[in-house]
Structure 1
């Protein structure tokens, strides 16, 4: 919670800093629980006193309870942002949304943190701290435990996903699909985010961080930065940003926006072809290509005169195609009445080219303001 300068009685939260705080607290609670379990097993195997593991578990339970309350407050902030309701204070430090310091009940529907955790990949482990709404499909059958947990996570991050999707004019569903598939279908338990900022991504093949598992040192992220969709960063800097929910959402949206622009520029077929709201195709490219490979594919099509609609074929794209009901429950495919104009990438300066020196104008001798003359 924050108390902005100039109003000591104001209590509120500033996004995205508050989102980062909540995400980190939830992840810490999960890792403490995991540590307690691992330590218990090891101490028990060695036949020594397991009480240290019990003390860690007590800390984990306390952190989990705190994270659940923070999530509740975060949900309130995001609701105020979406509905443009609630009090806010604008300062030079940013915009703070007012939140009272009184105890906040867990939102309904749903109970406090579920006791039957969903089997999710490590980067979305915090979804298990969120209440599940018991969501139903259109035919009345329930979504799975994992689907319901991921839908709760997406709902918390709804405003951020839609804002980044709007920035690059792509479907919010595609961003949600990439995150959901990686969380439910590519389950990993290695807490790679604990190494964020060390540069491990440059040494470990396929190292990825955060929701959507963006590969930190693949050509694709370098191409995105080189073309101005995001600032240039070192590998450790990328790791730190991608280990946050907001950072990963930014990269996924920028990647999909870049693919959409490359497609529009390179597609020379008789009929227009856009992938901005083609969720399976966006996820197909996100999972299985990079910008230069896709540009080469489009160039080959032009040479061969092959303008058949590209087929989907990788697991993420096929899953997105089969799970429209889940994606419709997560986010709208096209939430705006008029498609937004995508942001214009700002290419970074070439570091090998020295900056231009300012030109110093040559001195001039203007006529005197007091002309001389004969009287």
Structure 2
């Protein structure tokens, strides 16, 4: 982005507009890649000329290359913002961070190109279709190809994650941590998405769908819906919703928002977990709202308000990987914490888990791994 009011030799980035530009570019590259594959399959099925599909793929590769360059610049700007280093140009239109055109590095020797797939859980395998920007940690060492691929996926979904985090006033890093841990540490190769919408979640124990692996028939998702954080849905509807990336993000954010609200209500003045990423991931991975309410009630009864000590695998991973989370999303991106949305409880008694729902089926998906008792 050039300076809008004068110097033709100035090259820089205005934030957060540059973040939005990079996110949309990454998303466009992914969608074009997806379109090329879908188009080839459809044309091949019809036994007609498939040459348009490779042309779309070539366009996708061009956009991917541009995205990689933009992401490299984005990493630099974020580092400059964090450290205060780098030249700034302040104008009435905002602050521009100077980025020389020669700042784009060559690929790191020995680093596999984006076409080499890394081992990720099936629900995030499409991160292999996104460019890897060769991101660096604050100490200058590179993230692993697997981490870089997941960071690209998070960048492509940045707007959705931040919007849902803002809605419930929670840290966007907590959503990213849940998705990243499930993708890199809890690797599954079974394409359950093929069964979405069949109601398999009522038959298969621990059936989960989408980024973050939300369990479609656990008590937690029923509690979230019955308390009005999301519309009531039958299991088969949840499966179809959770098959989409945006759906999973929406469910994860609502779950973490509900835990935060329970904590505000039951432990006001003692705990606030809205930006406590390890605690949000601890609860997401292994509890439900009623278990957490009971745990807080026990603490109140014994007047035991000691420090919360998250210890499950996802929470511990979040503590160890702060550099990854900082590269993914800001922990607290707003100057003033937003007012969380107010849940609207649906009328009537709670819907049985497997009953049909009259709610139109959106495009979404999530919920945690086995129960954890505090």
- Structure 2-normalised TM-score? 0.67
- In structure 1, how many angstroms separate the alpha carbons of the residues matched to 2:295 and 2:204? 28
Tell me which of the two structures has the higher relative contact order, counting C-alpha pairs closer than 8 angstroms and 6 or more residues apart: 2
2:288 aligns to what? 290
1:171 aligns to what? 171
1:335 aligns to what? 333
2:198 aligns to what? 198
1:237 aligns to what? 237
Structure 1, unmatched stretches of 5+, are 1-15, 34-54, 80-107, 354-375
2:364 aligns to what? none
For residue 68 of structure 1, report the CA deviation from its aligned partner.
4.2
- In structure 1, how many angstroms separate the alpha carbons of the residues matched to 2:63 and 2:241? 20
Q: Say whether residues 1:133 and 2:133 are aligned partners.
A: yes
For residue 273 of structure 1, report the CA deviation from its aligned partner.
1.4
- In structure 2, how many angstroms separate the alpha carbons of the residues matched to 1:226 and 1:21? 38
Find the partner of 1:65 among 42, 57, 72. 57
- In structure 1, how many angstroms separate the alpha carbons of the residues matched to 2:332 and 2:155? 16
Question: Aligned-pair RMSD on alpha carbons?
Answer: 3.8
Change (3 A) 1:252 1:22: same
1:1-375 equivalences in 2 (<5 Å): 26=34, 65=57, 68=60, 114-267=114-267, 271-350=269-348
Structure 2, unmatched stretches of 5+, are 1-23, 42-46, 72-103, 352-374
- In structure 2, how many angstroms separate the alpha carbons of the residues matched to 1:210 and 1:64? 27
- In structure 1, how many angstroms separate the alpha carbons of the residues matched to 2:223 and 2:170? 18
Change (3 A) 1:116 1:344: same
For residue 115 of structure 1, report the CA deviation from its aligned partner.
2.5
For residue 69 of structure 1, report the CA deviation from its aligned partner.
5.7
Change (3 A) 1:182 1:29: farther
Change (3 A) 1:311 1:226: same
- In structure 2, how many angstroms separate the alpha carbons of the residues matched to 1:196 and 1:179? 19
For residue 118 of structure 1, report the CA deviation from its aligned partner.
1.1
Question: Partner of 1:286: helix, strand, or coil?
Answer: helix
For residue 28 of structure 1, report the CA deviation from its aligned partner.
10
CA contact (8 A) 1:219 1:290 kept: yes
- Please list the CA deviations of residues 54-77 of structure 1 after superposition, one character each: whole Å capped at 9, or x if unmatched: x9xx99x9599389469859x79x
Change (3 A) 1:244 1:137: same
CA contact (8 A) 2:201 2:216 kept: yes
Question: Partner of 1:134: helix, strand, or coil?
Answer: coil
- Structure 1-normalised TM-score? 0.67
Question: Partner of 2:305: helix, strand, or coil?
Answer: coil
- Please list the CA deviations of residues 40-91 of structure 1 after superposition, one character each: whole Å capped at 9, or x if unmatched: xxxxxxxxxxxxxxx9xx99x9599389469859x79xx9xxxxxxxxxxxx
For residue 110 of structure 1, report the CA deviation from its aligned partner.
9.2
Change (3 A) 1:345 1:204: same
CA contact (8 A) 1:68 1:113 kept: no
CA contact (8 A) 1:122 1:187 kept: yes
For residue 26 of structure 1, report the CA deviation from its aligned partner.
3.9
For residue 114 of structure 1, report the CA deviation from its aligned partner.
1.7
For residue 183 of structure 1, report the CA deviation from its aligned partner.
0.3
CA contact (8 A) 1:280 1:321 kept: yes
Change (3 A) 1:352 1:181: closer
For residue 220 of structure 1, report the CA deviation from its aligned partner.
0.4
For residue 301 of structure 1, report the CA deviation from its aligned partner.
0.7
- In structure 2, how many angstroms separate the alpha carbons of the residues matched to 1:189 and 1:175? 22
- In structure 2, how many angstroms separate the alpha carbons of the residues matched to 1:113 and 1:216? 36
Change (3 A) 1:193 1:258: same
- In structure 2, how many angstroms separate the alpha carbons of the residues matched to 1:135 and 1:278? 25
